[in-house]
C-alpha cells in the first residue's frame, strides 16, 4: 500500500470535490468545503484510508500538501463564488523546522485566490496537546490573511479546548448532533448551548450533516448561521452555484420549527438525594443504653442497628418508649440486646435506586415503614437513612414539575413548553391558529366507567391529535385533564381539525357498553345527585386565528382561546368553532361536525 500511495502522489491521482455551505436565513451559498478523493478503483479512494496509509508510511505531510494544491487549483479553475474551506490537520498546521514556509500562501498566489477567501479548517485525526505551538501557528496563518475554522465540534479529541485556545472565526458542529435533532431534545440542547457560546465569543456556527428539511428549519430557528449537508448539496466535482428551488422555498417559509420535547422523566433521580447521616448502634447494645440515646436527643426518632457495616434493623423511639412505659418491662428487658425491640425487616435500598421505584415499594409495604423511613446502602453496606416525608415531598414535586413540562399520561408537552412555543410564534410575527380541544361529558363517563377507562380516552385523544398534526409545523400539547391545544401553522388546519373530529367519533364508541352504544348514551348523576342522561362523549374544538402583532403574550391568547372553546361546547356533538373577532365584522361561524 505504501508503494501504491507513492505512485498516487507522483502521478497526482487525487481529485477535488466541493460541498456547498449555505447561509441559513438567505439560502445563499457563501462557501464550499474542498474535499479530496483517491482513484475511484483504488482502496485509497476514501480519505480515511488515504491518510491512514500516509501516516503509516511517514507521508502524511506530502499527501496533505498535495491535497491542498489540488483543491486550490480546482477551486480557481471552477471560479466558484464565495469562500473556500480548506482542510488542514493541526499537526501539519504547526510550522516545523524542515517545513516549507508559506507553501499554502504560494499556491494561493499562483492560482490567483485572495487569502481572505480561504478558511483554514482544522480537521482533527489525532490528539492535540501543544496548544502554545498551535496558537503560534494560527497567528502565523492569520497574519497571512486566513481565517480559522474548527471541524467536527463535539466529536474530536480536544475540539472544545481548541475553540477556547484558538478563538476561531467558525466552528462546525459534528453531524451526530445534527441528524435527528428534530426528534431529540438532548441534541437540541447541545446545539443551543454551542450557539449561546458562539454568540458570546463572536464565532459563527456551521451545522454539518443536514439531511432533512425539518432539521434545517429547526437549526435556522436556533440562530445557527450556516448549514452543510446532503439536503443542501452533495460533494461534487462541479458543484451547483445555487440551492435547489425546493430548499430555497423551505428556507423562505415563515413560522417556527417545532422543538422536540423531553418526555416525563422516569427513574432519573436516585434516593441518594434523600440521604441523612444517622448514627448507628451495634446489635450488642442493650435496650437501656438505646433508651438513653433517645432521651438525650428529643428529635431523634429512629436508630439503625448495624453490625460491621451490614444493616440489621431499626429501633423506633415510640416503640421503645411504649415498651418501657408498661409495668416491669424495663426491669425485664432493659439489659437485653436492642435487637429485641427492633424492626428486623426494614426497607433497605441501594443509593442508586430511583425515587419512583422506592415510592412503589413504600406503597406496597406496611404503613409503619412510611413513618420509620428506610435504610440506604452502597454495595450492601450502610451509609445512612432517608425519611418517608422527604420521599413523598420529592415525588410530589417531581410530579408537579413533570406535568408542567410533559404530561405523564399522554407524554405530550405541558403548559411550560406550550407557552414557550406560543411566545416563539408571536416573536416570529407569523400567522397561526390556536385550537383549544376539550372532551364533552368526560366527568360522568369517568364516574360510570372508572378512571382507568377515562385515562384510556385521554390517551386516545392525545394520539388522534398528534396523528393529524404536521410534525414539523404543528405543536400538540396537553394542558391537563381532558384539555388539549394544537398550535397550527399548517394552512389546511380546518381539514386537519375535521379529520380529528371524525376519527374521535369513530373510535370513542368502542369505549362504551353495547347497551349504551345502542341508546346513544348512558345514565349518571349530576353534581346535585340527580339522574341525568348523557350522550356519548364528543370533542369541542375552539379555534383562534392569530395575525402578526395582534397579541403580545400567551396569556392574552389563552384567554381568547378559552372563550372560543366555550362557544364550541355550546354546540351538540363534535364541533368546531372559529373565533373571527378583530378580523371581520361578520358573525362567528359555527361548524357542526
Which residues fall within 8 angstroms of residue 206, CB to CB, at 6 or more apart?
Answer: 21, 149, 170, 171, 172, 173, 224, 225, 226, 227, 228
Question: In this predicted structure, what is the pLDDT of residue 379?
Answer: 93
Give the tens place of pLDDT for each residue, 80-92. Answer: 999 999 998 877 7
Question: In this predicted structure, what is the pLDDT of residue 96?
Answer: 52
Contact 173, 154 (CB under 8 A): yes
Q: Are residues 390 and 474 in the same domain?
A: no
User: Does a structural domain hold residue 406?
Assistant: no
Q: Are residues 95 and 228 in the same domain?
A: yes
User: Does a structural domain hold residue 591?
Assistant: no
> Which residues of the chain are modeled with pLDDT < 70?
93-102, 124-129, 154-159, 262-268, 399-404, 582-593
User: Does a structural domain hold residue 560?
Assistant: yes
Q: Are residues 280 and 178 in the same domain?
A: no
Q: Are residues 232 and 354 in the same domain?
A: no
DSSP per residue over 445-463, as a string? HHHHH-HHHHHHHHHHHHH
Q: Are residues 374 and 459 in the same domain?
A: no
Instruction: Report the C-alpha gap between 30 and 16 in whole angstroms.
Output: 19
Question: In this predicted structure, what is the pLDDT of residue 559?
Answer: 94
Q: Are residues 52 and 171 in the same domain?
A: yes
Q: Are residues 92 and 67 in the same domain?
A: yes
The whole domain housing 292 covers 271-398
Joined together, the cell numbers standing for residue 173 give: 458542529
Question: In this predicted structure, what is the pLDDT of residue 88?
Answer: 87
Q: Are residues 160 and 215 in the same domain?
A: yes
User: Does a structural domain hold residue 592?
Assistant: no
Domain end residue (candidates: 223, 243, 263)? 243
Contact 484, 417 (CB under 8 A): no
The count of structural domains within the chain is 3
Q: Are residues 314 and 445 in the same domain?
A: no
What is the model's pTM? 0.70
Domain end residue (candidates: 372, 398, 424)? 398
CATH assignment of the domain containing 294: 3.10.580.10
Joined together, the cell numbers standing for residue 421 give: 412555543
User: Does a structural domain hold residue 266?
Assistant: no
Joined together, the cell numbers standing for residue 59 give: 507521508
User: Does a structural domain hold residue 467?
Assistant: yes
Please give the biggest Cα pair distance in the chain: 108
User: Does a structural domain hold residue 265?
Assistant: no
CATH assignment of the domain containing 565: 3.30.70.270
Q: Are residues 229 and 83 in the same domain?
A: yes
500-516 per-residue burial string, b: 16 or more CB within 10 A, e: under 16: bbebbbeebeebbeeeb
Q: Are residues 180 and 205 in the same domain?
A: yes
User: Does a structural domain hold residue 264?
Assistant: no
Instruction: Report the C-alpha gap between 214 and 40 in whole angstroms.
Output: 34
Beta strand 475-480 with 575-579 is unpaired
CATH assignment of the domain containing 108: 3.20.20.450
Contact 225, 206 (CB under 8 A): yes
Q: Are residues 373 and 489 in the same domain?
A: no
Amino acid at each position: 500500500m505504501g508503494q501504491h500511495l507513492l505512485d498516487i502522489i507522483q502521478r497526482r491521482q487525487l481529485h477535488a470535490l466541493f460541498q456547498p455551505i449555505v447561509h441559513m436565513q438567505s439560502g445563499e451559498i457563501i462557501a464550499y468545503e474542498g474535499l479530496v478523493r483517491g482513484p475511484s478503483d483504488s482502496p485509497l479512494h476514501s480519505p480515511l484510508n488515504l491518510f491512514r496509509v500516509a501516516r503509516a508510511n511517514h507521508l502524511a505531510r506530502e499527501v496533505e500538501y498535495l491535497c491542498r494544491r489540488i483543491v486550490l487549483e480546482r477551486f480557481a479553475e471552477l471560479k466558484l463564488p464565495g469562500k473556500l474551506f480548506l482542510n488542514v490537520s493541526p499537526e501539519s498546521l504547526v510550522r516545523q523546522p524542515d517545513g516549507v514556509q508559506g507553501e499554502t500562501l504560494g499556491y494561493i498566489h499562483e492560482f490567483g485566490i485572495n487569502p481572505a477567501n480561504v478558511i483554514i479548517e482544522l480537521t482533527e485525526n489525532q490528539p492535540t496537546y501543544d496548544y502554545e505551538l498551535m496558537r503560534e501557528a494560527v497567528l502565523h496563518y492569520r497574519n497571512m490573511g486566513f481565517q480559522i475554522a474548527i471541524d467536527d465540534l463535539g466529536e474530536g479529541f480536544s475540539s472544545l479546548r481548541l475553540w477556547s485556545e484558538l478563538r476561531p472565526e467558525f466552528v462546525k458542529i459534528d453531524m451526530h448532533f445534527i441528524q435527528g435533532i428534530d426528534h431529540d431534545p438532548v441534541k437540541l440542547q447541545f446545539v443551543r448551548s454551542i450557539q449561546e457560546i458562539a454568540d458570546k465569543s463572536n464565532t459563527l456556527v456551521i451545522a454539518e450533516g443536514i439531511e432533512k428539511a425539518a432539521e434545517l428549519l429547526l437549526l435556522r430557528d436556533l440562530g445557527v448561521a450556516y448549514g452543510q449537508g446532503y439536503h443542501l448539496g452533495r460533494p461534487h466535482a462541479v458543484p451547483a452555484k445555487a440551492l435547489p428551488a425546493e430548499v430555497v422555498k423551505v428556507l423562505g417559509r415563515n413560522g417556527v420549527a417545532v422543538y422536540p420535547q423531553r418526555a416525563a422523566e422516569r427513574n432519573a433521580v436516585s434516593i441518594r438525594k434523600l440521604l441523612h447521616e444517622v448514627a448507628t448502634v451495634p446489635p450488642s447494645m442493650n435496650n437501656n443504653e438505646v433508651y438513653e440515646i433517645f432521651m438525650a436527643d428529643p428529635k431523634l426518632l429512629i436508630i439503625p442497628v448495624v453490625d460491621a457495616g451490614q444493616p440489621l434493623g431499626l429501633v423506633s423511639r415510640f416503640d421503645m418508649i411504649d415498651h418501657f412505659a408498661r409495668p416491669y418491662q424495663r426491669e425485664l428487658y432493659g439489659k437485653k440486646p436492642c435487637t429485641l425491640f427492633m424492626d428486623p425487616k426494614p426497607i433497605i435500598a441501594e443509593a442508586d435506586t430511583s425515587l419512583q421505584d422506592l415510592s412503589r415499594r413504600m406503597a406496597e409495604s406496611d404503613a409503619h415503614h412510611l413513618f420509620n423511613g428506610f435504610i440506604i446502602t452502597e454495595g450492601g453496606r450502610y451509609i445512612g437513612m432517608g425519611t418517608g416525608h422527604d420521599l413523598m415531598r420529592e415525588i410530589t414535586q417531581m410530579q408537579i414539575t413533570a406535568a408542567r413540562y410533559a404530561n405523564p399520561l399522554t407524554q405530550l408537552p405541558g403548559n411550560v413548553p406550550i407557552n414557550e412555543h406560543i411566545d416563539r410564534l408571536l416573536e416570529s410575527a407569523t400567522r397561526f391558529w390556536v385550537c383549544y380541544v376539550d372532551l364533552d361529558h368526560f366527568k360522568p363517563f369517568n364516574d360510570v366507567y372508572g378512571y382507568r377507562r377515562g385515562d384510556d380516552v385521554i390517551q386516545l385523544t392525545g394520539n388522534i391529535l398528534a396523528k393529524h398534526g404536521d410534525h414539523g409545523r404543528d405543536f400538540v400539547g396537553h394542558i391537563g385533564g381532558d384539555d388539549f391545544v394544537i398550535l397550527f401553522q399548517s394552512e389546511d388546519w380546518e381539514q386537519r381539525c375535521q379529520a380529528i373530529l371524525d376519527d374521535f367519533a369513530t373510535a370513542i364508541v368502542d369505549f362504551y357498553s353495547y347497551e349504551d352504544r345502542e341508546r346513544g348514551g348512558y345514565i349518571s348523576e349530576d353534581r346535585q345527585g340527580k339522574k341525568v342522561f348523557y350522550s356519548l362523549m364528543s370533542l369541542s374544538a375552539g379555534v383562534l386565528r392569530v395575525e402578526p402583532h395582534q397579541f403580545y403574550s400567551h396569556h392574552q391568547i389563552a384567554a381568547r382561546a378559552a372563550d372560543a372553546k366555550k362557544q364550541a361546547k355550546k354546540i351538540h356533538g363534535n364541533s368546531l368553532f372559529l373565533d373571527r373577532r378583530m378580523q371581520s365584522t361578520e358573525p362567528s361561524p359555527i361548524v357542526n361536525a
